[in-house]
Chain A
Amino acid sequence: MKFRVFRYNPDEDEQPYLQDFEVAAERGMMLRDALLQIKTQDEGFSFRHSCGEGVCGSDGVNVNGENKLACITPLAELKEPVVVRPFPGRPVIRDLVVDMSQFFQQYRAVQPWLIRKDPLPEHEILQSPEERERLDGLYECILCGCCSTSCPSFWWNPDRFHGPQALLTAWRFLADSRDQAADERLDELEGPYKLFRCHTIMSCVEACPKHLNPTRAIGNIKNLMLKKSI
């Protein structure tokens, strides 16, 4: 199977380039397996990966123009030549490895932790199955970045627009019956950029390998803001 892979090593290359590789594809192989094979052909080829089963969020890459997790992308689904590039819009460190610090900064900016003001009970804080169900589709985020790095608004304003991942997380805490900081959270999201740069383009939803829906989460935040303002 034919691959065209983005290469750039700042120690050696002045310019990035695409390099062709041939990989012996077998039934059931994932894109990560192919990248590993390429690495045995050229040990200097760098990419992040770890769990191999789509839970750690390390190996997001851009394949034939779409952001995907290499380890759960079957080769059988890909058209040849398979063009593998780093995430768009992020500074490249080397080959497929990009600098994700702004992405994580935006995550940290939404105060992604449960805030509880009441004294804690000596057992668990009670939560009904229905209340808990509101967290489904939110808490599963693996911070892979496939969404935010496919969002045009995030490309243009990565320092000011939170991006779909962080906004999904903001909603994850707003939606948690145990959290007691809704007002502060909503106040923090005010202004033209942090939340409102989302133009509902939905690239994020398409990109999410965990089938989460940041656009819906963003809509829910906007609705809640509206409700609070009247």
Chain B
Amino acid sequence: MALAKRHFDALIIGAGGAGLNAALQLANADARVAVVSKVFPTRSHTVAAQGGVNAALANVVPDSWHWHMFDTVKGSDYLGDQDAIEFMCREAIPTVYELEHNGVPFSRLDNGRIYQRAFGGQSQNFGGEQASRTCAAADRTGHAILHTLYQQNLRARTHFFDEYFAIELISDDEGAVLGALVMEIETGEPLLIEAKVTLLATGGCGQVFRTNSNAHINTGDGMAMALRAGVPLQDMEFFQFHPTGIHGKGMLISEAVRGEGGYLVNKDGERFMPRYAPHAKDLASRDVVSRAIVTEVKAGRGCGPRGDHVLLKADHLGEEVVAKRLPGIRESAIIFAGTDPAREPIPVYPTAHYVMGGIPTDRFGRVVIPARHGPEEAVPGLYAAGECACVSVHGANRLGGNSLLDILVFGRAAGLDIIGYLDANPNHRPLNSASVDAAMARFQRFEQPGEGIPVAELREEFQKVMEDHAGVYRTEAVMAEGVEKLKAIRERLDAVRLTDRSRVFNTARIEAFELANMIDVGMGIALSASQRKESRGAHSRPDYPERDDKNWLKHSLYFRDGDQLDYKPVRTRPLSVDSFPPKARTY
């Protein structure tokens, strides 16, 4: 049977905040845009974001995008690119207003303006008093934003391919991307979507770690597809462990709890954060708080019978604040931790949360790779935005509330840039049959009959190796062993066999594809981490405890082909203001 084909101006893979905000710009400009998502769009993980999105609206206390920029550069441990950061912090303001105009039900202040709460790492006046920069719809901001963007895309008549799984990018001999091979999950049938331009907006990869705050679907598919198309992944060693996951489960308890006045205590009931961050205390940057919790537990000051967690107190805030500002978190804590935060503290421990690294792009969302001569160049027809991309605005550590901002600003910027790209490239390039054949081979990859390793078994083993060897403790020996184990797991992937080989809604098959993707991405994380011999932001090495700006103020690039690493300079020059030079980072 001939392979079914569809043609669009733009193909967007991923229907989270990044994909949908890009799609909206394109659909509003009357481009033919297809959005492919492996789950129904409002099930995308953006829906889970609780706390809010940063923008210097100054609705509560004085604020400016320049202060926001300073905090973001400092939070990134100076690894963020300052041109992109300036762009994001400036664009934050119109982006949030646009969301509001589109219908997002933000919480409100008495004067009718958008409610903003305090979040970690935020300051006024370049490191002064705490700022209140995080725009919130109670503690369901991601839900409110994602549903609104989906609704606006319905209005704009975007083409949705719901429950279609993207298998592989299609490219030609010049490296230009021509679309993607996808699979309709309900029927198991392949479909080739040809597009003049393709945007990867596939979100994060938190599932590579065993204990994480991410959804089952966050498996790094887009990153792995990019890797296989010859694109490197940037800064993959920087993985954020959120300080307050529900102990033993990993579900997130948002920073909003501390933003509203909650704080952490150890087994002696001591509020310990002032010892680690005298000024910002519980609202220090996430890497700082996570390390403090781990240090407390290691020093024997953890809570519970096993002394393996700390407590997050919010009961002093009173019933009303908890009910009004943190209703969703309260419900989660009751269901998953069995505690009502309005009455008792919540047991918490750091959980794998967010990948700072990803597919390298410029601030227009164009995917860029090192060129043989001169600086980097854009891959024709390929864009990336959202958590799967690395612009890089988060550098070595992301601030709370800056990811929703990242996905929205750069999703929008990519959409707008694509409109220009389509003007300049009005025709489809000829299809490349070799690339289609390779993608089809991948599509058929898990169809061999016979006995083999079950997907679930290898997946579990892989996640454990990642947690033990590329998690919070990163010494030379531990990581080297991890890389070897990952190589062995990568080889055993070929021995994976499905017992279920039916076509219709075969979730085992999807999990096999996802596992293959996670292993590619996991290798990027482990290898990049093992090579970076310094401590910076979320990447913390007991054997190299200091930041080393002389040798390591640079981005790493991991190439799948031959497991190669390369490096490129950090862009320290902003667009219009003075650069923030690296300084010691204290909170």
Contacts and interface: CB of A to CB of B under 8 A. Distances in A.
Nearest 4 Cβ contacts at the A-B interface: A114-B103, A126-B112, A44-B500, A11-B502
A11 B503 contact: yes
Contacts of B140: 55, 140
Given A93-B504, A129-B110, 4 more contacts: A43-B500, A49-B216, A55-B328, A131-B108
Contact of B186 (A40, A93, A104): A93
B47 to A, nearest CB: 5
Given A97-B505, A124-B114, A176 B500 contact: no
A53 interface: yes
A70 B186 CA distance: 21
B102 A114 contact: yes
12 contacts: A9-B502, A40-B456, A46-B505, A50-B216, A51-B48, A51-B216, A55-B47, A55-B140, A113-B154, A120-B101, A124-B113, A143-B42
A94 to B, nearest CB: 4
Contact of B113 (A39, A104, A126): A126
B25 to A, nearest CB: 16
Contacts of B111: 126
Interface string A174-218: 001010000000000000000000000000000000000000000
A187 B507 CA distance: 43
A117 to B, nearest CB: 12
Interface stretch (B72-80, B331-339, B544-552): B331-339
Given A114-B103, A120-B101, A56 B504 contact: no
Nearest to B43: A56
A44 B338 contact: no
Contacts of B335: 53-54, 72, 74
Contacts of B500: 43-44
Contacts of B20: none
A120 B102 CA distance: 10
B496 to A, nearest CB: 11
A127 B112 contact: yes
A129 B108 contact: yes
Given A57-B43, A126-B113, A113 B151 contact: yes
Contacts of B148: 113-114
Interface in B102-121: 102-103, 105-114
The DSSP consensus for interface residues of chain A is loop
Given A112-B154, A113-B154, A53 B503 contact: no
Nearest to A116: B101
A53 B332 contact: yes
A12 interface: yes
A149 interface: no
Interface in A1-59: 9-12, 28, 39-40, 43-44, 46-58
A47 B455 CA distance: 16
Interface of A: 9-12, 28, 39-40, 43-44, 46-58, 72, 74, 93-95, 97, 100, 104, 108, 111-114, 116, 120, 122-129, 131-132, 135, 139-140, 142-143, 176, 178
A116 B498 CA distance: 52
Interface residues of B, number: 59
A176 B103 contact: yes
B454 interface: yes
Contacts of B326: none
B215 A124 contact: no
A128 B108 CA distance: 6
A17 to B, nearest CB: 16
Contacts of B186: 93
A140 B143 contact: yes
Contact of A113 (B39, B43, B155): B155
Contacts of B331: 54
B485 to A, nearest CB: 22
Contact of B47 (A10, A49, A56, A116): A56
B310 interface: no
B426 to A, nearest CB: 30
Given A43-B499, A44-B499, A51-B45, A142 B508 contact: no
A51 B215 contact: yes
Contact of A9 (B45, B100, B107, B504): B504
A129 B107 CA distance: 7
Best-buried of A55, A113, A114 by chain B (most CB within 10 Å): A55
A129 B48 contact: no
B94 to A, nearest CB: 9
Contacts of B499: 43-44
Contacts of A140: 140, 143
Contacts of A50: 39, 43, 45, 215-217
Best-buried of B39, B57, B251, B456 by chain A (most CB within 10 Å): B39
B112 A44 contact: no
B560 interface: no
B135 to A, nearest CB: 9
Contacts of B403: none
Contact of A51 (B47, B57, B336): B47
B97 interface: yes
A168 B384 CA distance: 35
B151 A112 contact: yes
A95 B143 CA distance: 28
A9 to B, nearest CB: 6
Contacts of B217: 50
Contact of B100 (A56, A125, A131): A125
